[in-house]
Amino acid sequence: MDKPRILVVEDDEDVARLLQLQLQRDGYEVALNTTGAGFLQQAGEFGPALVILDLMLPGTSGLELLQQLRREPRFAQLPVIVLTAMGDEAARVRGLDLGADDYVTKPFGARELVARVRARLRTSASAAPEILEINGLALDLRARTAQLYGNPLELSDTEFRMLAFLMKNPGKAFTRREILDAVWSPQHFITERTVDVYMLRLRGKLNDDSENPRFLAAVRRVGYRFEPSGKAAPA
């Protein structure tokens, strides 16, 4: 099985290396970022199961990076543990308000932090649904299979990820750019038109009429949404 991936954003290189060694000993794959530069792109390419984020970084604020992360639909549920200085209560509160899942104050023990990582990943795994099912359309997120009214659907990996992303957010309209950011990694350099191409393919496989869609509705001047009622009105 693939090792869970942890992204550590910490400007103290000694602390960062210590965490890397401890996490690797416990069976995790670890990537380091010691400045905060390129954080979102690195997260998109590395695909971490959890982020450890120091709030005091050179040239930027960990709080700002956390805010940027939570603005991205693809990272909305990504667990984040923030590292703060002892006694910096305001930063801890602000971090939690911005969507951090936990915090650890410096100085800390590496074993304690790894225990927090294990606990947070268990919580995240137990909260994540294994099967999405809405109005006869079902996706098994672990087996990566799809069915429509009990009949198997042959979906490409990209089609599956796009459909899963929309089904996880039923009724919510997303722009083409938001869908691109959630489904494709930044290095692909593709255009928003690609979303329309894949949406056309998905509609064909779902037997979904664009004029009277049951699942994938176009939202004028916005993008697309998954219609949870299965009876989306034409946009």
Q: Is the full-model pTM beyond 0.85?
A: no
CB atoms under 10 Å from CB of 232, counted, come to: 21
Upper half-sphere CA count for residue 213 (Cβ side, 13 Å): 21
The Cα 200–Cα 210 span in angstroms is: 9
* Residue 181 structure tokens: 């950011």
- What CATH code would you report for 131-226? 1.10.10.10
In the structure, how many helices (H) and strands (E) does the chain have? Answer: 8, 14
| Predicted pLDDT at 215 | 92
pLDDT in tens, 75-123: 877 899 999 886 778 888 888 888 888 888 888 888 889 999 998 888 7
Helices (H), 61-209: 62-71, 89-97, 110-127, 157-167, 176-183, 193-205
Domain assignments of the chain as residue spans, ordered by start: 5-127, 131-226
163-222 pLDDT per residue, tens: 999 998 888 899 998 898 888 755 456 788 889 999 999 999 998 887 788 899 999 889
CATH T-level assignment (fold) for domain 5-127: Rossmann fold (3.40.50)
